Structure 1
Amino acid sequence: MSSKYPQARILTKKNDPLHIIKTRKATHQRAVTIAGPMVRYSKLPFRQVCRHYNVDIVYTPMILAREYVRNCHARMADFSSNESDSPLIVQVGVNNVTDLLRFVEMVSPYCDGIGINCGCPIKEQVREGIGSALIYNPELLSSMVSAVKTKYGDKVRLETKIRIHDNWDQTVDLCNQLCDAGVDWITIHGRTRTTRSSEPVNLDAIKFITQKIKSRNVPVIANGDCFDMSDFQKILDYTGADGVMAVRGLLDNPALFGGFKACPWGALELFWHYTMEFGGLPHQLLLHHLHCMLGSMGLEKSLHNELMNIKDTSHLIDWFDYNFVLKRFGEQGFAEATDIPYKSHSKP
């Protein structure tokens, strides 16, 4: 059984995210694939499932630096990893150099890179100068990047995940400042701070910014509206980005980058396996993951309603065993099925 606790690691070509981003086309005949940070949901069990389906780099949920560096309980709750959870980027919400340097010192030995969240639009975070507030404070953001890279150089990979401004030239100026500060790569989410996720991502903006900073030799990752491999290729071809980050699409279908149009049953079995192996997840979080994956599979509506009314994990396991053929790790055919394996009394 693998540990859920992080182990110290050293950057090599195998786990160096910048090397992977720059060489994936040569080694795998495709651009790099990235599972982005999801508040609450990109925990260790889910990250491990994504890695089974051609995801090259995976992010943790955002961790607030001020809480992490001051509170041992936050450190225990917010970050778990193991030797197979690599390459791993830990995303941080931060608004000052001191907290960031302390955070990097504590976390960097146990991951493969740090990502500064400059895209979260949640009002509480923005009021504190965290998340998307940082794209309107380029001097602070650049000073944080510079402080980390000055102290650690290539020993710590540092990324910034930004949103776009209404004026794209303003975003280009920000990216140039980040390049000057030493950022290793930039992820661009093609929406402004106020753009709803229901509105299409602005690929024109990502293309414009990518072309403007191409000469800086800093890779650009495109983020937004990647729900299958046709989206992946469309985004790459249109924007000229060096790779694609998916977030919402992976929540419904963690096998997205494996070429599956909908979540395969095997991914759900893997998710159950890792959830149990690493000590479980809070019931409501577990239930939401299953809700998203089974929704992608087209679970019969009455069963879906039953699922959402289950109040604890032990009953949830019993419900799965009663209605479906849920294979465990080590059983023949584990994690191989595509369609929902209903038992005869549960077939729609």
Structure 2
Amino acid sequence: MNTQDELPHSLIPEPRRRNDPLQLLLNGKTTTIAGPMVRYSKLPFRQLVRDYNTDIVYSPMILAREFVRNSNARLFDFSTNYKDTPLVVQVGVNNVTDLLKFVEMVAPYVDAIGINCGCPIREQVREGIGCALIYNEELLIDMVHAVKRKYGDKLRLETKIRIHDDLQRTLKLCLNLCSVGVDWLTIHGRTKVTRSSQPVKLDAIKFLTTGIHEKYPDKPVVANGDCFHLDDVKRIQEYTGVQGVMAVRGILANPALFAGYDKCPWSCIERFWYYAIEFGGLPYQLIQHHLFCMLENMNISKDLIKEMMNAKSLPQLLDWFDDHFYLKRYTDSNFGETEEIPYR
């Protein structure tokens, strides 16, 4: 297959400066990771978190069945550039055929593929995607085996799973995935029905990490859940023994989380504006909601945030920022360096 005929021309970047995420996870330091977020972890946001000490970044989950069949899906679901590395593209998939076709199409542009085995959304589970896969162990193992048999170490493959109530079942699944060549595992320490408001089960992640490393000491494990501050990275790593820590909700609100900022610095606002306009491809409502998440984390007054959310277009939103703040542009001195909110 000619991949360049299948993907939009804009997705064909300069030669990639490839970075192996597995080597990052094996370098003896705790690897910081921005996890996949439906809609939100697109190229502008990925570039933003890379500016603030994030080692590995994931794309949003892409549905394989749509991507491999629909050119519009390929156009809107995935974009990258030569600086977007190391990049893990996460896929939602429920069969080997679609997975192999998907991997063939995106492999030249990514550093790893991640199979989503953790999404608890009912519609996805009903389709056999996300969390459904940890209850369909044979299919999941077959999919991992098929990719690794074809690509070997030329392409890294990860699985992001939730836990079963029976942790022995989860450990057996993890060991079987290791046996067919998965490069690393990400473990979200909640079950399919555990609400995000309930604490993540670090004891479960510790138990599984220990069990994996006893048999496969070279297989890194990443912990996911309840990482909201840089201190959480150290706390989670030291307690569980994992090689990497993933943030999702925390880094959406504070893209500078891994750089040690307790709240989102103003520099993130300026940089996000630049990347969103420079790279394009984000719907207006998504840009607005990214800014909402960051401003809310900065403790901007609710009245001001409500005003911002009343803006109906990108020009109106930009005017609102200029009316209330000193928003520097890319060519301005000290662009993207201010920490405090520069009110007018």
Structure 1 partner of 2:76: 77
Question: What TM-score do the two structures reach when normalised by structure 2?
Answer: 0.95
Where do 1:37-76 residues align within 5 Å?
37-76=36-75
Contact 1:307 1:316 in 2 (8 A): yes
Structure 2 partner of 1:160: 159
For residue 228 of structure 2, give the secondary structure of its aligned residue in structure 1: coil
Contact 2:17 2:85 in 1 (8 A): no
For residue 70 of structure 1, give the secondary structure of its aligned residue in structure 2: coil
Contact 1:9 1:109 in 2 (8 A): no
Shift, 1:282, TM fit? 0.8
1:269 and 1:299 map into 2 onto residues whose CA distance is 16
For residue 234 of structure 1, give the secondary structure of its aligned residue in structure 2: helix
Shift of the 342–10 alpha-carbon distance from structure 1 to 2, 3 Å rule, reads closer
Shift, 1:7, TM fit? 2.5
Shift, 1:285, TM fit? 0.6
1:185-206: CA deviation from partner (whole Å, max 9, x where unpaired): 0000000000000100000000
Contact 1:227 1:256 in 2 (8 A): yes
1:119 and 1:317 map into 2 onto residues whose CA distance is 37
Structure 1 position 292 matched with structure 2 position 298: no
- Give the ranges of 4+ consecutive aligned residues of structure 1 lying more than 4 Å apart after TM superposition: 8-12
1:119 and 1:97 map into 2 onto residues whose CA distance is 18
Equivalent residue pairs, number: 334
Structure 1 position 16 matched with structure 2 position 46: no
Shift, 1:308, TM fit? 1.1
For residue 322 of structure 2, give the secondary structure of its aligned residue in structure 1: helix
2:332 and 2:116 map into 1 onto residues whose CA distance is 41
1:113 and 1:6 map into 2 onto residues whose CA distance is 17
1:11 and 1:309 map into 2 onto residues whose CA distance is 41
Shift of the 8–175 alpha-carbon distance from structure 1 to 2, 3 Å rule, reads farther
Shift, 1:8, TM fit? 7.0
Where do 1:294-309 residues align within 5 Å?
294-309=295-310
1:24-61: CA deviation from partner (whole Å, max 9, x where unpaired): x3xxxx41000000001001000000000000010000
1:240 and 1:267 map into 2 onto residues whose CA distance is 31
1:6 and 1:199 map into 2 onto residues whose CA distance is 42
Where do 1:1-348 residues align within 5 Å?
5-7=11-13, 15-23=19-27, 25=28, 30-215=29-214, 216=216, 217-343=218-344
1:69 and 1:5 map into 2 onto residues whose CA distance is 15
Contact 1:8 1:110 in 2 (8 A): no
1:7 and 1:135 map into 2 onto residues whose CA distance is 35
2:73 and 2:127 map into 1 onto residues whose CA distance is 19
For residue 11 of structure 2, give the secondary structure of its aligned residue in structure 1: coil
> Structure 1: where are the runs of 5+ without partners?
344-348
Contact 2:115 2:158 in 1 (8 A): yes
Amino acid of the structure 1 residue aligned with 2:193? T
1:239 and 1:116 map into 2 onto residues whose CA distance is 23
For residue 222 of structure 1, give the secondary structure of its aligned residue in structure 2: strand
2:336 and 2:165 map into 1 onto residues whose CA distance is 45
1:267-322: CA deviation from partner (whole Å, max 9, x where unpaired): 11000000010125211111110110000111122211101111111100001011
RMSD: 1.3
Shift of the 218–8 alpha-carbon distance from structure 1 to 2, 3 Å rule, reads farther
2:267 and 2:279 map into 1 onto residues whose CA distance is 18
For residue 32 of structure 2, give the secondary structure of its aligned residue in structure 1: strand
1:113 and 1:309 map into 2 onto residues whose CA distance is 39
1:338 and 1:270 map into 2 onto residues whose CA distance is 12
% same residue: 63
Contact 1:126 1:133 in 2 (8 A): yes
For residue 273 of structure 2, give the secondary structure of its aligned residue in structure 1: helix
Shift, 1:149, TM fit? 0.3
1:79-122: CA deviation from partner (whole Å, max 9, x where unpaired): 00000110000000000000000000000111100000000000
Shift of the 137–35 alpha-carbon distance from structure 1 to 2, 3 Å rule, reads same
1:120-150: CA deviation from partner (whole Å, max 9, x where unpaired): 0000100111000000111100000000000
2:13 and 2:53 map into 1 onto residues whose CA distance is 23
For residue 183 of structure 1, give the secondary structure of its aligned residue in structure 2: coil
1:194-248: CA deviation from partner (whole Å, max 9, x where unpaired): 0000100000000000001103121100000000011111100100001101000
Shift of the 40–102 alpha-carbon distance from structure 1 to 2, 3 Å rule, reads same
Shift of the 247–6 alpha-carbon distance from structure 1 to 2, 3 Å rule, reads farther
